[in-house]
Structure 1
Amino acid sequence: MADQETARVAHGRVAQGRGALMATVFLLQFLVAMDISLVNIALPAMRADLGFTDAGLQWVVTAYLLTFAGFMLLGGRIGDLWGRRSSVLVGLSVFAVASIVGGCAGSAGVLVAARAVQGVAGALLAPASLALVATIDDPAVRARAMGLWGGAGAAGGALGVVLSGVLTQWWSWRAVLLVNVPIIVIAMVAALRGISRRDVGRTARLDVPGAVTVTLGVAALVYAVSAGGDRGWGSWQAVGGFVAAAVLLAIFVAIERSASHPLMPPGLMRERSVLGANLFGFMVAAGQLAAFYFCSLYIQTVWGVESALTGVLFLPFCVFVVVGISVAQRLSARIGARMAIVAFGIVAAIGLGLFATMPAHFDFWLGILLPSAVTAVGIGGSMVLIGAVATEGVSPDDVGVASGVVNSSRQLGGTIGLAVLVAVASGYAVPREGFQAGFLLGAVLLVVGSLAAWLILPRRRSVEVAGASA
């Protein structure tokens, strides 16, 4: 009897630990995804309060994107070496401090600096979130955790737009930064309970030259894209950024080939599953941000809807992301992960095509609900499969850096893809026509990504994602 009671208590503790781990995975990915879009609708209020110039205002967004993408690979490797528990707790602590400083900022410079620090902290958290999923031993638990990871990434970006409008309209732009703090507190409690104390990493030297060159190289690339979109692709800032990125990344490749403890194992990108998933993730991120960016502008500019309601109109996207995740495993089991990813990519492309047909006057059913439902199902299903495929078969010692790579590809896809789409849209004299062109080009990128996935990903059985039979 006593043995049965002891076993029951032990089982309960294991279940609680798994629940806390699930919550940690969700909250980490949700937090970093949400903060990409959280400030978008609050930007005009920030400019009025802190005196931003037009050129300076973009850095509220760019500072986060630049450091987030730039430090991602390093953040993934640090998780491998420190252990996920330490890297998560440090990342959350830094993110909380930066959010408080940003929310209390009295000048434009302080706010931009706080956003940059948030990006560095996010670069520790995003790879750790996926790595925690990939290292779960129980297939059923890993499947559910992967579903949560995919849903958090897609829904976090959509809900960030919602909160940006609501918080700015009802409280203040400062609330869009301070809202991070209670989420971080909950995430820290979950991490302390859910991540094992035995997760202490391994003893190996950090490849400092590789870390420096890849961080600066990716940051230079993000800066060049941002400068190209704002100042013109022929400006010295854009050209200089691209040249610096090419040189630094070439040096990084040379360093990795000869390093005894490389930051990114040379054979990682030779894995067809890793390469295909990253290329597809690059294109999907571009399409997802196109949907958020152009839809928000269309609703406010063409339809004349106020910011708070604009944010609320993104709620259907959040709901249908869950639908896409729920059918991902079943579709993968029937036709294989490769064809399921292709199918979800095509569905998302069709959704962006429907966004391009948004009417000239407000229409919730045809202008919001229908395109949001189709796009969200495609993006939700494909995102969760990308995470599973990109880490499948990767050594536990390298799963952190593999997670950093897939997160970097998505971040770069969103940044570079959106800059290109905005440049195309801005070439139209009529804003509505420009937005439609942006949607259509985003759909083309998704079709190209789907074709790349079909050609590169290996033909194999389904991978384990949410909705597994257990």
Structure 2
Amino acid sequence: MASYSMLVIDNSIVITGLPTIQSQLAFTPEKLSWVQNAYMLCFGGFMLLGARAGDIFGSLKVFLFGLLVFTCSSLIISLSNSANLLIVARAIQGLGAAVLSPATLTLLTKNFSEGAERNRAISWYGAIGGITASLGLVAGGIIANFISWRAGFFINVPIGLYLMLMAPKYITETDRHNSKLDMSGAVLSTISMICLVYGLINAAESGFNNIYTGGLFFIFVVSLLLFIQLERKIESPLLPLRIFSSKERNGAYIARVLFTGSAMGFFFYTTQYLQSVLHMNAFQAGIAFFPSMIVNFLGALLAPRLSKRFGNATVLLGTIVISFIGMLLLGFGMATSSFWLGIMVPMILVGSGMGASMALLTVFGVSKVSHQDAGAASGVVGVAHQVGGAFGIALLVLVNSLSTHASVTESVSIQLQGMSHAMFAGAVLLAICFSAVFSLNRK
């Protein structure tokens, strides 16, 4: 749990620290985006490889390796004196996160038995992710404004060292499975995921009709088809296709892409609205998110109790509806520029649905998998999350740009119109998410 919190807080701190990083290291606006893009590419690209490595070599060993890489790269970032060094270190940090994140979920899956006990542990996992995201936004504002953006990365070093010392004392190593690491599959999956994530990143910047974007998507499709063909034939695949034999798990993966896409759009545009339209600073914007993250936390904690009474699918559908209503109201609220009723109340609705939904989607994503496939299933959950985030940003940025393209002015009303339409697009993603969960959970 602590390692996952470190990942989430680190990512939130980066968002609020970007303006200071740009000014101190002389980043161009185009190059600044690679502080986040380099991390996302390696995180999403190496996720399946990192996840399967835990099944083969033992999740605790892989977890410790991921911690080591993430901690060392954080130290390098905190000491960086050039833009290029920081970007390279962020890419290495993404690699560490790609190993660490699925290993954390795998250890939870393997150390808690199927049912209420595991659901409770995974719900805590989702709840901590929600509350630490908000804490990271607030902490990032404080650190960037009053200390230094470097401190936001350096703090990972003592935390990482402490976790590396304590983890072997409290975590039991998982069983190793006598199989070779599928290197051909690793290469193909990494190429396909990097091209998909990079294609979505480029689509957000240049549009889906850009020739470079199209080329990346083409390579993604070809490498993915080759990967699937390979995984069908070999004895020890990187991604056992039997993971996709469950309708419930498949529904959870699809729904996670859609829900995460909407959630990332919510954070991306609500943050812009608070700072660009309401003229809050980074610290004030982080505080504004806090009520929604509190209900996010409470929703995730209540999810197991509600699921025990009404069933996982019923509760999940209900929480998706709550977030859908919040996104819809947020779209109307941004158009009117009213904070308390137009923004704060919808933010709380989105947050309350988000916490329980993410927890339950994680439960569905790893449910009823064998211990030997737990790491691979955790990797698919992570990939769905990363792809969903990149997809959501790309789609909502496209909707925003189409909404404002017809105008040659940069008036506040035009900005509000674009943000409002982006929130409506996020609501559409949640509606499709609801349909996916509903259809794939019918008896």
Task: Give TM-score, length-normalised by structure 1.
Answer: 0.88
Deviation at residue 150 of structure 1 after TM alignment: 1.1
2:132 to 123, 144, 156: 156
For residues 255 and 275 of structure 1, the distance between their equivalents in structure 2, rounded to whole angstroms, comes to: 20
Find the counterpart in structure 2 of residue 326 from structure 1: 301
For residues 155 and 403 of structure 1, the distance between their equivalents in structure 2, rounded to whole angstroms, comes to: 21
Does 2:420 align with 1:436? yes
Greater CA deviation, 224-233 or 377-386?
224-233
Find the counterpart in structure 1 of residue 372 from structure 2: 397
Alpha-carbon contact 2:123-2:356 (below 8 Å) kept? no
Pick closer, same or farther for the CA change 1:348–1:102 going to 2, 3 Å: same
Alpha-carbon contact 1:130-1:387 (below 8 Å) kept? no
Alpha-carbon contact 1:273-1:457 (below 8 Å) kept? yes
Greater CA deviation, 45-54 or 72-81?
45-54
For residues 315 and 181 of structure 1, the distance between their equivalents in structure 2, rounded to whole angstroms, comes to: 26
Q: Deviations over 1:64-119 (max 9, x none)?
A: 11110111111110011111110111111110111111111111111111111111
**CA RMSD across the alignment:** 1.9
Which runs of 5 or more residues in structure 1 are unaligned? 1-25, 460-470
2:321 to 329, 346, 353: 346
Q: Deviations over 1:130-163 (max 9, x none)?
A: 1112113455542432121111233333333222
Deviation at residue 190 of structure 1 after TM alignment: 4.1
For residues 415 and 162 of structure 1, the distance between their equivalents in structure 2, rounded to whole angstroms, comes to: 23
Identity %: 33
Find the counterpart in structure 1 of residue 122 from structure 2: 146
For 1:167, the aligned partner's letter is I
For residues 65 and 115 of structure 1, the distance between their equivalents in structure 2, rounded to whole angstroms, comes to: 9
Does 2:65 align with 1:93? no
If each structure's helix is expressed as a fraction of its own residues, which one has the higher value? 2
Deviation at residue 360 of structure 1 after TM alignment: 7.2
Deviation at residue 367 of structure 1 after TM alignment: 4.5
Find the counterpart in structure 1 of residue 381 from structure 2: 406
Deviation at residue 364 of structure 1 after TM alignment: 5.3
For 1:394, the aligned partner's letter is V
Deviation at residue 426 of structure 1 after TM alignment: 2.3
1:445 to 415, 424, 429: 429
Match of 2:111, SS state, is: coil
2:228 to 239, 247, 253: 253
Task: Give TM-score, length-normalised by structure 2.
Answer: 0.93
For residues 454 and 232 of structure 1, the distance between their equivalents in structure 2, rounded to whole angstroms, comes to: 31
1:418 to 378, 393, 398: 393
Does 2:143 align with 1:167? yes
Does 2:259 align with 1:284? yes
Pick closer, same or farther for the CA change 1:182–1:447 going to 2, 3 Å: farther
Q: Deviations over 1:184-211 (max 9, x none)?
A: 2343344222211x43522210111001
Alpha-carbon contact 1:302-1:360 (below 8 Å) kept? no
Match of 1:450, SS state, is: helix
Q: Deviations over 1:245-301 (max 9, x none)?
A: 111111111111111111111221121121011011111111111111111100111
Find the counterpart in structure 2 of residue 191 from structure 1: 167
- Provide the aligned length of Structure 1 versus Structure 2: 433
Match of 2:241, SS state, is: coil
Residue pairs, 1:47-446, within 5 angstroms: 47-138=22-113, 141-196=117-172, 198-199=173-174, 201-358=176-333, 365-427=340-402, 428=404, 429=407, 430-446=414-430
Deviation at residue 175 of structure 1 after TM alignment: 2.3
For 2:424, the aligned partner's letter is L
Alpha-carbon contact 1:313-1:368 (below 8 Å) kept? no
Pick closer, same or farther for the CA change 1:457–1:194 going to 2, 3 Å: farther
